Amino acid sequence: MSVQEVYITNTSLFLPNEPVANDDMEEYLGYINDKPSKSKKIVLRNNGIQTRYYALTKGGKPTHTNAQMTAMAVRDLYNNDPEKLREIELLSCGTSSPDQMMPSHGVMVHGWLPEVGPIEVVSPSGVCCAGMHALKYAYLAVKAGDVRKAVATGSERFSASLVANVFEEEAQKLKALNENPFISFDKEFLRWMLSDGASAFTVSNTPNAGGLSLRVDWIEGVSYANEMETCMYMACEKQPDGTLKSYLDFTPEEIMHKSLLSIKQDISVLSNNIVPLGGRKIKEIADRRGFGVDDITYFLPHMSSEFFKSKIFEVMAVLGSHVPYERWFVNLTRLGNVGAASAYFMVHELFHSGRLKKGEKMLILVPESARFSYMYAMLTVV
């Protein structure tokens, strides 16, 4: 069986509701202990995000599940045409915020797409890299000739774990103990960083007959969990020795009192490691595959915060020189940090921008702070 070329022939984006400005965030997420956050302005000043999207109404009522948003993005790829939806042979869905632990996120998305019929479904887990893992599975399936047309998705519904009632029990307990009734920074930090949405790609063994496509030249990843402790985590508690204690080993009361279902990040581990480790692998890939800065038309780095922009700029000099800012394409400030979907969001916007010309190349970089994993990809406009 011959090895196929692989192309992204269409992209789509689903954003729930209206954009939420910085001043309005707590109208959606709620106030912990009925008081405005002390850390919100500090975090927002550093991350540079101006608007984001929540699958919530004001007051915190859910409007969409993660699976529903993802299915809507898939439908948009084919203008909701049942005949075209039936062409899908594989559905590969990456997220770090599934609506439930079981069944898998992918099959729940499939359940919202009955027209597709019975197909293979896979659900890569993880954090920011999950969407790229989903794309790689679809890419490899098409490249091997197993399927002709696949759909890969990246999506998140972080808002469900950011609303105030997730933290309220802990805040009330601290207040009763006459301690500081504000949630610790490692828990509250991510309330002002994360947002919701979904995006999907059609992955095919043939390019578009008319119009542009994106050839997937390669996708590679690496994990440094062999040498790094956990940085971002959920449904567990980090122990003094760096190990994690699962929520399964706590009582139901402790799960609530300790707000174990909130997302937490160890900032002390994050800042010194996330960018340097990302540069280590890209240097090795570039040397092996023989490309440099001059070959990159667009650089699409997933950033959780504008704080890291200058640091990424400096570390990319491992390619021989810096990637000039005019070649960067990032939409963090407008769409927020949507984890596993963020790389999809950037590719989607660029794909439909009217700016692309045949022969141009996109380098994608996706870091994941959970235990320091990274995904990289090169796409060529054809």
- 181 and 304 co-located in one domain: no
How would you classify the pairing of strands 149-156 and 90-95?
parallel
What pLDDT is recorded for position 267?
A: 82
The DSSP secondary-structure symbol of 159 reads G
- 181 and 289 co-located in one domain: no
- Does residue 127 lie within any of the structural domains? yes
- 76 and 183 co-located in one domain: yes
Count structural domains, the chain. 2
What pLDDT is recorded for position 190?
A: 85
Question: How close are the terminal C-alpha atoms of the chain, in Å?
Answer: 24
Query: Helix 342-351 and helix 130-143: axis angle, to 10°?
Result: 60
Spans of the chain below 70 pLDDT? 1-2, 168-187
- Does residue 94 lie within any of the structural domains? yes
Q: Which two structure tokens, joined as six digits, stand for 290?
A: 């023989």
What lies within 8 Å, CB to CB, of 47 at 6+ separation is 192, 193, 304, 305, 306, 307, 332, 337
What pLDDT is recorded for position 174?
A: 46
d(C-alpha 283, C-alpha 221), whole Å: 13
Please name the residue ranges forming H helices in the chain. 25-29, 40-47, 66-77, 82-85, 105-111, 130-143, 165-176, 185-188, 252-257, 267-289, 309-315, 332-335, 342-351
What pLDDT is recorded for position 182?
A: 43
- 23 and 172 co-located in one domain: yes
| Domain final position from 209, 233, 248 | 209
What pLDDT is recorded for position 32?
A: 85
Q: Is 285 exposed, middle or buried (0-12, 13-18, 19+ CB in 10 A)?
A: middle
Domain that holds residue 367: 217-224+266-381
What pLDDT is recorded for position 265?
A: 87
pLDDT in tens, 230-257: 999 999 999 999 999 999 999 999 998 8
